[in-house]
Structure 1
Amino acid sequence: MSIITTATALLAGIAVETDRTDAVQAFVKQETILVELATTDGLRGTGYAYTIGTGGTSVLSLLQDHLLPLLVGEDARNIEALWQRLFATTRATTTGAITSLALAAVDTALWDLRCKRAGEPLWRLAGGHRREVPVYDTEGGWLHLGTDELVKSALVAKEAGWAGVKIKVGKPHLNEDAERLRAVREAVGPSLHIMTDANQSQTISSALQLAAALEPYDPYWLEEPMPADDLSGHARLARATNIPVAVGESMYSITQFRNYLEAGAASIVQVDAARVGGITPWLKVAHLAEAHNVMVCPHFLMELHVSLVAAVPNGKFVEHIPQLRAVTRSEMTVRDGMAVAPDEPGIGIDWDMDAIDDRRVS
C-alpha cells in the first residue's frame, strides 16, 4: 500500500535568468506552484506547475481549498483514478489553464512517487525509448535582441552541435522579421534548424504574409502564428505554406490536440506538461500525435520534458530555456548537442527546498 498521508502546496516566485520578450508579452517571472505528497511507505513526491507572472495564487487556492484534501487517504499508485477524480471535481472550471496547472502539480508529484517506488527514472517508466534527445536554443532568439546578437547566439549553438535555434518573430514591420531570419540563415548555413515563433500575434491574413516572407530562409517551423483557439485559421495556413505549423503550448486538453490533428492544422505538437494537466495527459497527447505521424517538441520546462521526450518514439527536440537553476541542486545535462534525461529514480529534478523557501510567496 502507498496511502497518501499529507498533501501540501506552496507558491514560489523565481526571477527570470535573462530578459525574455516576444510579440505579445515579456516573461516577468515564473510563479512556481509545488505540491508535495507523503505516503505510508515512507516516500515523498514533489510535483510542480508554473505561470509566467499572473495566476499563481489562483492555482494555489484551487489546490489548497478543493483538490489536496481529496488526496489524503487515497492510494498514490492509482494515478489515473486520482487524475479523473480531481478533474471531475473541477468540472465547473474546465477546460482551462487554472485547473490544468493545478492538476499538473498533483500529477507530477504522483509520477515522482511512482518512479521512486519502482526505483526507475521517469524517461524509462514513461516509455523508455532512449535517454538522449536533440536540443535547440531559445535564449538567444528573443524579440528585443538585435540581429548581431541573434547571429552570435546561433553560431555558438551551431559550434556546440545543437540541433537548432529559435527566433522570435512579430516585429512591427514584416521586413524586419525576414531580415533577421535571413541574417541568421546566411551565418549558420543550411544545416542548423531555425525555428520561428510568433506567439499568437498574427491574424490569418498577416500570418499568410509572414509565412511567405520567411519561406525563402527555410524555417523549420512557424510556431503559434495565431491565437490557439483559431483552429480553422491554422488549418488554412497549414494548407497554404510549406513551413510546418507548430502549436500546443496554449492548449489545455487532449480534445483540443485531437481537433487540431484531425484538421491537419498541426505539423508539430508542442504539448506542455504543466498546461495540459500533467504527465498523464501529456503521454496521451504524445501517443495521439504518434498515431497521426506527428512529432512532439514540447514547450519550455526542459527539466521535466527532457525525460518525456526521451520516453516516446516521436519525441523530437527539447527546448533549452533554463529557469530552475536558482532552486535546484543540479541542472539538465547537455552533451555533444544532446540533452540527457536524468537516470535517478523520480521525475529527475533535485529541488533545493531552502532556496524555494527563500522565494516563497505568502
Structure 2
Amino acid sequence: MNASQNTGSSILDATTTTAHAAFADVTAGSRIVHVEAQLVDLPVETVRTDALQTFVKQETIFVRIRTADGTEGVGYSYTIGTGGGAVLSLLRETLLPALIGLEAERPEAVWLALFGITRATTVGPITALALAAVDTAVWDAKTRRAGLPLWVAGGGASPSIPMYDTEGGWLHLTVDELVAHAVASKERGMGGVKIKVGKPRGHQDLERLRAVRDAVGDDLDIMVDANQSFTVSEAVRRARLFEQVDVFWFEEPLPAEDIEGHRQLARSTSVPIAVGESMYSIGHFREHLQRGGASIVQPDVARVGGITPWLKIAHLAESFNAPVAPHFLMELHVSLVCAIPNALYLEHIPQLRAVTTDELRIEGGRGWAPTTAGLGIAWDDEALGRLIVS
C-alpha cells in the first residue's frame, strides 16, 4: 500500500469514527432513565355486544418513559374487562426494570431485549399486551425526538384512510336501530358498516343484513363479524346466506387457531375472510396467509405486541397482496394504516374521548393521521388521574 492509499484509509477511518461518535451522542440522549406503569379503567362509551360477550370496560395499561434528554413517551394497551392486573404485574416486576439504560431511538433493540426475558410466557396475550404498552411508549419518544408524526416515521404512505363504522352494528340492536345507524354512517361519508352476526338461526342474521342492504343500497360496504362463534360447517352455511346481500368480508368466523377450518371456509365462499384481532404473533398471520385461510388481515397493535411487530405483519400481508384493516384502537391505528401502502379501512369505535383533549379528525368519511410529533394522541392527564385503579 502506497502513501496515498494510507492517507485515504486514515481519512476514511477518521470519518467513520466521527460518524459513530455523532451517532453515539444522539442515541445517548435517548437512553431511558425513568419508567412507570399504571392501570386505568375506562367505561365503554355505549353498550357493545357480540355473539360471545359484552364489552364491560376497557382496562387500559399505560407506560410512561423519560429519556436522558428529557423526552417523554406514553404508550398503552388494553383488555375488554379482565387481565389488566396481570399485565401490570408483568410490567412492574419484569419488563420496566429492564428498560432502564436502553435507547428509545432503537425500538427493535428494545423489543428484542424485552421479548428475550419473557420467552417463558410467549406467545400469548398477557406478554403481548405488556410488550405493546412499552413499544408504543418507545415509538412515541422516538418520533417526538425526531419531530415526526408516527404515520410519517412508519412509512408515510397516505395522510388519510377510508373508515367504516362498527358502533351501530352490535348484536343486541334491533333491525330498525341497525338501519338507522347504517343510513347515518352513509350520510357521514363512511365507506361501510359492520354488523355483528351470530343469532341462533341463520335466517335471523340474514334478515337483519337484508334490511340494512335495502336501506343503504349497493354502494355501501357491509361487513359481518361472528367473533369466532361458529363451527366450520355453520360458517360455510352462513357464508352462503351472506352472499345474498353482497357482504364485503366475513370476520372471525371461527376460532383464530383453526387455520385449516378457515382454509376450508375460504375455498367454499366468494366472501373474503378477515382474521387477526385474536392473533398474537407474526407467525400466526403467516400461517393463515400461506394456507389461504384469510384474504384480509386485522392486526391489533396491542395484541400483537406493539408497533414494531404490527408493521412487520402489515408488510407480510403486502407480500401476499392482502390488505390490512386493523381491529379497534382507531386513535392509534389511524397513524399505522396511513403509514403503509396496503391499508384498506380504519374501524370507527370511539373509546378515548373521556381521557383526551382532542379527537381523531374525520372528514368525508376518512380518518386523518395526526400531524403532531409522536403518536398524536392528546392525553388528558387530569382525567386519567381520576380513573387510575393501580
Q: TM-score, normalised by structure 2?
A: 0.92
Question: CA shift at 1:76, angstroms?
Answer: 1.6
Aligned to 2:142: 114
* Paired residue total: 362
Residue among 165, 171, 189 paired with 1:143: 171
Aligned to 2:38: 10
- Secondary structure at the counterpart of residue 166 of structure 1: strand
The higher radius of gyration belongs to: 2
Name the aligned partner's letter for residue 57 of structure 2: K
- Secondary structure at the counterpart of residue 204 of structure 2: helix
Aligned to 1:189: 217
Q: What is the 5 A alignment of 1:5-44?
A: 5-44=33-72
Residue among 332, 355, 365 paired with 1:304: 332
Residue among 37, 42, 51 paired with 2:79: 51
Does 1:247 pair with 2:307? no
- Secondary structure at the counterpart of residue 307 of structure 1: helix
Name the aligned partner's letter for residue 162 of structure 1: M
Aligned to 1:275: 303
- Secondary structure at the counterpart of residue 37 of structure 1: strand
- Secondary structure at the counterpart of residue 303 of structure 2: helix
Aligned to 2:229: 201
Question: CA shift at 1:165, angstroms?
Answer: 0.3
Does 1:88 pair with 2:116? yes
- 2:356 and 2:103 map into 1 onto residues whose CA distance is 28
Question: CA shift at 1:316, angstroms?
Answer: 1.1
Question: CA shift at 1:161, angstroms?
Answer: 1.0
Aligned to 2:389: 361
- 1:274 and 1:287 map into 2 onto residues whose CA distance is 17
Question: CA shift at 1:160, angstroms?
Answer: 1.1
Question: CA shift at 1:357, angstroms?
Answer: 1.0
Aligned to 1:262: 290
Question: CA shift at 1:74, angstroms?
Answer: 1.6
Structure 2: stretches of 5+ with no match in the other structure: 1-27
Does 1:288 pair with 2:316? yes
1:42-87 deviations in Å (ceiling 9; x for gaps): 1000000000000000000000000000011222212101101111
Question: CA shift at 1:28, angstroms?
Answer: 0.2
1:101-120 deviations in Å (ceiling 9; x for gaps): 00000000000011101101
- 1:12 and 1:163 map into 2 onto residues whose CA distance is 33
Does 1:164 pair with 2:183? no
Which aligned runs of 4 or more in structure 1 are off by greater than 3 angstroms? none
Question: CA shift at 1:88, angstroms?
Answer: 1.1
Question: CA shift at 1:211, angstroms?
Answer: 0.4
- 2:110 and 2:227 map into 1 onto residues whose CA distance is 33
Question: CA shift at 1:3, angstroms?
Answer: 1.1
Does 1:349 pair with 2:387? no
Structure 1: stretches of 5+ with no match in the other structure: none
Name the aligned partner's letter for residue 120 of structure 1: L
Name the aligned partner's letter for residue 139 of structure 2: W
- 1:321 and 1:75 map into 2 onto residues whose CA distance is 34
Q: Kindly, what percent of the aligned residue pairs are identical?
A: 60
- 1:209 and 1:130 map into 2 onto residues whose CA distance is 38
Aligned to 1:322: 350
- 1:252 and 1:349 map into 2 onto residues whose CA distance is 24
Aligned to 2:129: 101
1:338-362 deviations in Å (ceiling 9; x for gaps): 1011000001111111111100013
- 2:174 and 2:295 map into 1 onto residues whose CA distance is 29
1:155-178 deviations in Å (ceiling 9; x for gaps): 011111110000000001111100
Name the aligned partner's letter for residue 170 of structure 1: G
Q: TM-score, normalised by structure 1?
A: 0.99
- Secondary structure at the counterpart of residue 275 of structure 1: coil
Task: Indicate conservation of the 8 Å contact 2:129/2:305, yes or no.
Answer: yes
1:151-208 deviations in Å (ceiling 9; x for gaps): 0000011111110000000001111100000000011000000000000000001101
- Secondary structure at the counterpart of residue 302 of structure 2: helix
Name the aligned partner's letter for residue 250 of structure 2: L
Name the aligned partner's letter for residue 298 of structure 2: Q
Task: Indicate conservation of the 8 Å contact 2:104/2:139, yes or no.
Answer: no
- 1:92 and 1:75 map into 2 onto residues whose CA distance is 24
Name the aligned partner's letter for residue 204 of structure 2: E
Moved more, 20-29 or 330-339: 330-339
Aligned to 2:89: 61
Aligned to 2:262: 234
Root-mean-square deviation (CA, aligned residues, Å) is: 0.5
- 1:77 and 1:184 map into 2 onto residues whose CA distance is 48
- 1:157 and 1:309 map into 2 onto residues whose CA distance is 21
Question: CA shift at 1:4, angstroms?
Answer: 0.6
- 1:74 and 1:152 map into 2 onto residues whose CA distance is 51
